[in-house]
Structure 1
Amino acid sequence: MTLAKTREHVLKIANQRYATKKYDPNKHISDEDWQTILQVGRLSPSSFGYEPWRFILLKDEKLKEAIRPFSWGAINSLDGADKILLILARKDVTYDADYIQHLVAEVKHKPYSPDSPQSQHFKVFQERDLNIQTTEERFDWAARQAYIAMANMMTAATELGIDTCPIEGFNYPQMNQFLAEHQIMDPKHWQIAVMVSFGYRDQPIKPKVRQPLADIYEEI
């Protein structure tokens, strides 16, 4: 494929991606495609490589019905999407957190110390540069990164001919309480950042309407 054709393909995928409101419940994603999408999420970039996310596939039909009353934006997806993915974000990422020690020492296989240059750099980055001081601010920072993983998974899905819809239309306190009560997440460490559905649309694509590039881009 020539570079010109590659550019054309990239824009075609961007135009093909559509926030699907109606799915065909009779069509299902292959295991191979689903694992590819998950791997793309896993390989997404995160600040300092600290991966402050977790992906939960909601398969149980009783659980799906249970969240319906406080998940108005997910109703169409619950009625037809093949996959409903909950994306959690950590609320406890600090330079000296047990999670960071585990990630550095056991996943990245590097020596860990809260006094190391890397740890202290991260401490300054969070506390001074980003002015992150509270648990809620740490969650907000992690959630922004979870959205990067979601966007990458949505783009990968589109490449595979799979449709998606990002979902913020739900009551966040109720969802967090529900996930904690059902022992799906430990509220000491996690909160939900966003949901996203995957499947095959049962509706035509609407042409995208966006602001002109000149209105949103400038060079200085």
Structure 2
Amino acid sequence: MKNDEILRALNYRYACKSFDSNKKINDEDLKLILESGRLSPSSIGIEPWEFLVISNDELKNELANFAPGGKKQIPTCSHLVILLNRNANDLKADSEYLNELFNEDKHLPKEVSELLLKMIKDVNDNRFKNDEKEINHYSREQTYIALGTMLTTSSLLKVDSCVIGGYNAEAVTKLLSDRNILDTNHFNISCMLALGYRNENPAPKTRRTFEEVVKFIK
């Protein structure tokens, strides 16, 4: 892919406020977007995310009731991705999740796994003082890396998107946990991503200039 093709795709992306509800993302493109999130980097390789992919119209409409920032986008989008981040219990060095991740999923040598778990313990003890709120915040930060990757992949595929952060977290959590979709023992809701195809003509993208944003230090 050439440089100008990438720039065109990045300029194509905008925060879509109205989707064509009759136009759905095909399975191949949807999987590629989600794979790009799955393959994203994370601090110490902890991969503290899962993605709920919702296409059920009834559930989308219910969720929209608790999301003032997504009242138009959620009901009309093709798919709503809810990014989850693992909570502090799963990010302790002795947690079942981290030990399975390093030893069974990643198949790391024992000495490497032990080193990474020691690093995580040091971070939790010294940086976060084992404060669960701080650890949860750290976990949530990682999901935004995956979110950014999915946004870029979507734009390359000419799939429109809108990040939704304006929602009642308590109400959405209750709705999803009551339906046995969200396990609150392990996950918190990080943010939402509406995906689909635009049903509007956006204004041209405007940004600060390259020179204003980028400073080269030689």
Length-normalised TM-score, structure 2: 0.90
Structure-1 separation of matches of 2:95 and 2:54: 28
Q: CA deviation at 1:219?
A: 4.1
- Counterpart of 1:195 in structure 2: which amino acid? M
Residue number in structure 2 paired with 1:155: 152
Q: Offset at 1:13?
A: 1.6
Instruction: Give a deviation string over 1:173-210, Cα, whole Å, max 9, x none.
Output: 22222222222111121110000011110111322222
Q: Secondary structure of the equivalent of 2:50?
A: strand
Residues 130-154 of structure 1: CA deviation (Å, up to 9, x unaligned): 4352222222111111111111111
Q: Higher mean Cα deviation, 186-195 or 53-62?
A: 53-62
Q: Aligned partners of 1:187, 1:48: CA distance in 2, in Å? A: 23
Report matched runs for 1:75-86 at 5 Å: 75-86=71-82
Per-residue deviation at 1:158? 1.1
Q: Do the aligned partners of 2:67 and 2:167 also contact (CA within 8 Å) in 1?
A: yes
**Contact 1:166 1:197 (8 Å CA) reproduced:** yes
| Structure 1 position 213, deviation (Å) | 3.4
Counterpart residue number, 1:9 = 5
Aligned to 1:191: 188
Q: Percent same amino acid among aligned pairs?
A: 32
Point out the more displaced range, 7-16 or 82-91: 7-16
- Are 2:61 and 2:75, in contact at CA under 8 Å, matched by a contact in 1? no
* Distance in structure 2 (CA, Å) of the matches to 1:162 and 1:117: 41
Give 3-state SS (helix, strand or coil) of 1:95's partner. coil
Gaps of 5+ in 2: none
Counterpart residue type for residue 186 of structure 1: D
Aligned to 1:27: 23
Contact 1:90 1:190 in 2 (8 A): yes
1:166 to 163, 167, 180: 163
Partner amino acid, structure 2, of 1:102: E
Residue matched to 2:49: 53
Contact 1:176/1:192 (CA < 8 Å) preserved in 2? yes
CA contact (8 A) 1:18 1:164 kept: yes
Residue aligned with 2:84, SS: strand
What is the match of residue 110 of structure 1? 108
Gaps of 5+ in 1: none
| Cα distance in 2, alignment partners of residues 124 and 199 from structure 1 | 42
Distance 1:132 1:193, change over 3 A: farther
Q: Distance in 1 between matches of 2:171 and 2:54?
A: 16
Name the SS of the counterpart of 2:189 in structure 1.
Answer: strand
**Number of aligned residues:** 215
CA contact (8 A) 1:41 1:150 kept: yes
Report the residue type matching 2:185 in the other structure: K
Distance 2:96 2:53 in 1: 26
The structure 1 residue matched to 2:209, chosen from 207, 212, 215, is: 212
C-alpha deviation, 1:118, in angstroms: 2.4
